[in-house]
Amino acid sequence: MTDIDKLVRNNVRNLAPYSSARDEFSGKEGIFLDANENPYGNLNRYPDPYQRELKSAISKIKGIPEEKIFLGNGSDEVIDLCFRIFCNPGTDKALTFSPTYGMYEVSAAINDIKIIKVPLNGSFQIDMPVVLPLLDDETLKLIFICSPNNPTGNCFNRADIEKIISTFHGIVVIDEAYIDFTEKPSFTPLTSAYSNLIVMQTLSKAMGLAAVRIGMAITNTDIIKYFNKIKPPYNISTINQRAALKMLATKGENKRQINLIIRERDILSAKLLDLKITKKIFPTDANFILLEVTDATGIYSSLVEKNIIVRNRTSVVNNCLRITVGKPLENNALVSALNSFEQ
């Protein structure tokens, strides 16, 4: 068992957190004269700082106890909070596997944390012989594992991830932003077995709520306590909590959308495979496809001229475009545009 208190930065462990009006009285009924709000209007009251109603709805859908869920203003806030809880600026390190989601590195830089980037192997899997010796470093505090990985699209081998969690003395964050697009199982059940594991998920992708900005950390209550200790008091707005609750109530519709996207992903992959410009399609567990082409930058620019925007990832994977699966008409427009390139 990892002693979480020992891993936490001294100043955070000793911090006296801000106590908001809604921390001190959380009842719903009463004459509220405690938070200097305007007594008139519909959005005049501060939101529930702990988003209890929303967590209860998420808990029922995911089968995860409410007390194991922390909600951030997008997963990007959760990433930043992980650095602030566990890493001492200027001395500590974090580790990622490249190429991967860019915010781990940016958030590390903002917090003055050195990042070790271990390149994925030729199959875009974790290079275990390279990573295992690095885990002994006492100043290494955090490891980010994005699975399914952005931008490669694949899940990493489960046994490799579990080996890292069980070997590492620090915190492992598994980013499952795209987990609803794959049949492969989530790591959330393992948060009971491993006290150093945080699983991140988001409502931005499969749930269709990127504008609402809600990301989740699923972990044990010792770590949840620290997220709550340092987060901004009212980090999720009332409007966003309500929007998320409304969408979660239409679960069937969302499931239908996810199935449609997965079906379209397979149709689009097959069509992309037939193009003259295609050199390789990488297998994907996400709602996007990494496509190696003859000239990523040239093709990207020509698509932009046709008002079709994909992501040029040639700087991280040579000559690759990352294509998000759209609606059938959008995907067809993309394929027709790509068909006009000779090679």
The residues that touch ligand PMP, with contacts defined as CB under 6 A, are: 74-76, 101, 146, 150, 175, 177, 202, 204, 210, 215
Sign of CA dihedral 209, 146, 90, 119: negative
Q: φ, ψ for residue 112 (rounded to 5)?
A: 60, 45
> Toward ligand PMP, which CB reaches closer, 8 or 178?
178
Give whichever of 86 and 101 is closer to ligand PMP, judged by the CB atom. 101
Closest distance of CB 263 from ligand PMP, Å: 22
Residue 41: DSSP 8-state: S
Cross-strand bridge partners of residue 295: none
Contact (CB, 8 A) for 290 and 152: yes
CA angle, 52 then 194 then 122, to 5°: 110
146 versus 261: smaller Cβ distance to ligand PMP:
146
Nearer to ligand PMP (CB atom), residue 270 or residue 309: 309
Q: Which two tokens stand for residue 251?
A: 């679960």
- Nearest approach, Cβ of 29 to ligand PMP (angstroms)? 33
Residues 6+ apart with CB under 8 A from 106: none
How far are the Cα atoms of 93, 239, 247, 250, 260 from residue 257, in angstroms, in the given order?
39, 23, 12, 11, 5
Question: Least distance (Å) from ligand PMP to the CB of residue 165?
Answer: 18
What is the smallest separation between the CB atom of 144 and ligand PMP, expressed in angstroms? 9
Between residues 175 and 180, which has the closer beta carbon with respect to ligand PMP? Answer: 175
φ/ψ of residue 36, rounded to 5 = 55, 35
How many Cβ atoms from other residues are within 10 Å of residue 217's Cβ? 24
At 171, is the secondary structure helix, strand, or coil? strand
Of 175 and 285, the one with the shorter C-beta distance to ligand PMP is 175
Work out the number of other CB atoms within 10 angstroms of the CB of residue 132.
Answer: 15
Q: 47 vs 215, which CB is nearer to ligand PMP?
A: 215
Which residue has the closest beta carbon to ligand PMP?
A: 74
Greatest alpha-carbon span in the chain: 71
**Cβ of residue 35: shortest distance to ligand PMP, in angstroms?**
28
* Closest approach of ligand PMP to the CB of residue 201, in Å: 8
Q: Report, in Å, the least distance between residue 140 CB and ligand PMP.
A: 21
Minimum separation from the CB atom of position 97 to ligand PMP (A): 12
Angstrom distance (rounded) from CA 87 to CA 111: 8
Nearest to 323 by CA among 262, 260, 265, 254: 265
Sheet with 320-324, edge to edge strand ranges: 278-281, 288-293, 320-324, 311-312
Handedness of CA 19, 22, 27, 33 (dihedral sign): positive
State which residue, 102 or 328, has the beta carbon closest to ligand PMP: 102
Classified as helix, coil or strand, 242 is helix
Gap between the Cα atoms of 318 and 291, Å rounded: 10
From the CB of 186, what's the least distance to ligand PMP, in Å?
14
In this complex, which beta carbon is closest to ligand PMP, that of residue 100 or of residue 196?
100
